[in-house]
Amino acid sequence: MDAHERGDADSKLTGLLARVLGPVGPEVTCEQCFELLDQYVELEVSGAHADARLPGMQAHLEGCPACHEDYESLRDFVAGTPAPRRDADRSWRG
């Protein structure tokens, strides 16, 4: 492999783009993750197989703390989970 280095920048770039844009590669960038997060969370909250519909998202979320944080707060929001603090502080009736 080291003997035949062709220095083919074009094919290298194409391969990179294919990895980023193509549906084949399971890898998702933070940008894609952010764009798909809405769909992903909605699918998951509705009980659908989110990871099957949007492959790579779960793997990215597991390996990317920043996106995982967004994912968790968005999921809480979509799921309509009320903040526990709000209920506790709502003691205006005494």
Question: Given the rule CB under 5 A, which residues bind Zn ion?
Answer: 30, 33, 64, 67
End-to-end CA distance of the chain: 76
Distance separating alpha carbons of residues 54 and 87, to the nearest angstrom: 35
| Smallest gap from residue 51 Cβ to Zn ion (A) | 15
Quick one: 61 or 89, whose CB is closer to Zn ion?
61
- Given its phi and psi angles, is residue 7 left (phi above 0), alpha (psi -120 to 50 degrees) or beta? left
| Smallest gap from residue 32 Cβ to Zn ion (A) | 9
Quick one: 36 or 43, whose CB is closer to Zn ion?
36
| Smallest gap from residue 41 Cβ to Zn ion (A) | 14
